[in-house]
């Protein structure tokens, strides 16, 4: 019985990836030990490349999450250790092999965080959150790719105020750029495909294939983050992303209403069963504060927090219903760019993402840096 559970856990942990190396933590030899007692309490020992690994929080959370997804596991204790020299050289060998095997199919730089904005339900504000989050991330000087994976109901060009046609150069589609503060947005959407007949041709393709082409045939080479807006409903797109961008982190959007929260929970459950990584909840359309001073919780209260608790991920923000948000969307000027309250809310989300949940390449650097150091040392010896 416990042997079965240990096997199930190992299998599940094999789907957890080192955020930098991209490989399975089991294949990379990072999972030292897995034990489960009769009561279903799991103890997992993970060896990191360095004690000070800035991604330790992320790895620990992913391991915990994966373990809890195994039926029969009642508690999870993750202990993090540091690799000994033998383990490090095994990791180096396997990481090299992995890098050779994983010829990149996208133009994203290795390790670039991908954030998918997901929910089971339509109309909860996914696109609004995607647009504002992308603008908030860009504002601080970053280059943010925005992929509108809602092939039929695309809305991001309008929400982000970009227009014009997508051009190809070097055999790749060039997303449409817009400067935001010190940074840039690079937007790719079905809504920007120039020729109507071209758009029709695309629509004729199965949706997954179209999204795959958006990922693979576009130039995302210089983006620090890729933000993906998804269509309502679970299913195909999430699976496609899981396959072609396995590092994708899903942010689940819900309204405070119980019904929306249940649908969002179903979407998250689906994501988890499919080994997709859910990293946080954003509650949208939270209580409306009227200029008269009264607060109206039009869509109920507490949906975001209870969903976050259920999923054991943080509630990253509760975005109230505000005219500035819908108006900003209509104008193509996301509210984060000129409404101080909305900007402050998204700034806390950006801080959490950048410092902890999904650090940009370069800010992370434990395994990759270590490998570089080892390689240099080996070169010096030779």
Ligand X SMILES: Nc1ncnc2c1ncn2[C@@H]1O[C@H](COP(=O)(O)OP(=O)(O)OP(=O)(O)O)[C@@H](O)[C@H]1O
Residue 127 engages Mg ion in binding (rule: CB under 5 A): yes
Q: Which does 367 bind (CB under 5 to 8 A by kind): ligand X, Mg ion, none?
A: none
CA angle 128, 131, 137 (to 5 degrees): 135
Report the residue from 16, 48, 92, 124 that binds ligand X according to the rule CB under 6 A: 124
**What distance in Å separates the CA atoms of residue 118 and residue 111, rounded to the nearest whole number?**
21
How many whole angstroms separate alpha carbon 318 and alpha carbon 302? 10
Report residue 207 as tokens: 């949706």
Closest CA to 256 of 278, 284, 233, 232: 284
Query: Contact between 259 and ligand X (CB under 6 A)?
Result: no
Instruction: Check binding of 230 to Mg ion (CB under 5 A).
Output: no
Residues present in the chain in total:
382
Which helix (H) or strand (E) covers residue 9, if one does? helix 2-13
CB of residue 26 vs ligand X: minimum separation in angstroms? 36
For ligand X, the binding residues in 336-375 under the rule CB under 6 A are: none
Least separation in angstroms between residue 10's CB and Mg ion is 38
Measured from the CB of residue 272, what is the shortest distance to ligand X in angstroms? Answer: 21
Span near ligand X by CB under 6 A; candidates 15-23, 28-36, 148-156, 201-209 = 148-156
Minimum distance, C-beta of residue 159 to Mg ion, in the bound complex (Å)? 9
Q: Between 54 and 232, whose beta carbon lies closer to ligand X?
A: 232
Quick one: tokens of 110? 């290795």
Q: Is 72 in the site for ligand X (CB under 6 A)?
A: no
Q: Which of 104, 141, 153, 164 binds ligand X (CB under 6 A)?
A: 153
Backbone angles phi, psi at 361, to 5 degrees: -60, 140
CB 116 within 8 A of CB 249: yes
For residue 112, how many C-alpha atoms fall within 13 Å in the half-sphere facing its CB?
22
Site for ligand X in 271-330 (CB under 6 A): 284-285, 319, 321-322, 325-326, 329
Question: From the CB of 122, what's the least distance to ligand X, in Å?
Answer: 3
Name the segment binding Mg ion (CB under 5 A); options: 41-49, 103-111, 127-135, 361-369: 127-135
Q: Which stretch binds ligand X (CB under 6 A): 64-72, 125-133, 273-281, 293-301?
A: 125-133
Q: What DSSP string runs through 126-183?
A: HHHHHHHHHHHHHHTT-EEEEEE--SSS--HHHHTT--S--EEETTEEEPEEEEETTE
Q: Report which secondary-structure segment, H or E, holds 211.
A: helix 207-216
Q: How many residues bind Mg ion (CB under 5 A)?
A: 2
Contact flag: residue 232 with ligand X (CB under 6 A): yes
What residue ranges bind ligand X (CB under 6 A)? 122-128, 150, 153, 155, 232, 284-285, 319, 321-322, 325-326, 329
């Amino acid at each position: 019985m416990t042997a079965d559970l240990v096997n199930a856990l190992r299998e599940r942990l094999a789907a957890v990836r080192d955020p930098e190396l991209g490989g399975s933590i089991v294949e990379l030899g990072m999972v030292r030990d897995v034990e489960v007692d009769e009561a279903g309490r799991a103890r997992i020992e993970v060896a990191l490349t360095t004690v000070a690994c800035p991604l330790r929080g992320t790895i620990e959370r992913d391991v915990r999450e994966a373990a809890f997804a195994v039926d029969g596991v009642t508690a999870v204790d993750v202990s993090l250790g540091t690799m000994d020299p033998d383990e490090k050289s095994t990791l180096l060998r396997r990481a090299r092999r992995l890098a050779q095997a994983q010829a990149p199919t996208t133009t994203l730089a290795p390790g670039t965080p991908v954030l998918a904005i997901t929910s089971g339900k339509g109309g909860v504000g996914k696109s609004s959150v995607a647009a504002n989050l992308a603008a908030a991330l860009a504002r601080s000087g970053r280059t943010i790719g925005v992929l509108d994976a809602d092939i039929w109901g695309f809305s991001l060009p309008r929400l982000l105020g970009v227009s014009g046609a997508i051009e190809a150069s070097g055999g790749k589609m060039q997303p449409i750029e817009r400067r935001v503060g010190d940074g840039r947005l690079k937007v790719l959407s079905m809504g920007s495909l120039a020729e109507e007949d071209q758009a029709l041709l695309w629509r004729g393709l199965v949706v997954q294939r179209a999204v795959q082409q958006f990922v693979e045939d576009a130039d995302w080479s210089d983006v620090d983050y890729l933000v993906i807006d998804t269509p309502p409903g679970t299913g195909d797109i999430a699976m496609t992303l899981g396959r072609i961008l396995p590092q994708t982190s899903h942010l689940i959007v819900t309204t405070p209403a119980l019904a929306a929260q249940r649908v969002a929970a179903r979407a998250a459950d689906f994501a988890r069963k499919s080994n997709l990584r859910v990293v946080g909840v954003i509650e949208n359309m939270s209580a409306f504060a009227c200029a008269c001073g009264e607060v109206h919780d039009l869509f109920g209260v507490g949906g975001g927090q209870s969903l976050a608790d259920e999923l054991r991920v943080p509630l990253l923000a509760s975005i109230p219903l505000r005219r500035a948000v819908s108006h900003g969307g209509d104008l193509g000027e996301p509210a984060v760019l000129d409404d101080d309250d909305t900007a402050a809310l998204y700034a806390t989300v950006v801080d959490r993402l950048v410092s902890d949940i999904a650090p940009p390449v370069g800010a992370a650097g434990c395994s990759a840096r270590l490998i570089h150091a080892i390689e240099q040392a080996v070169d010096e010896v030779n």
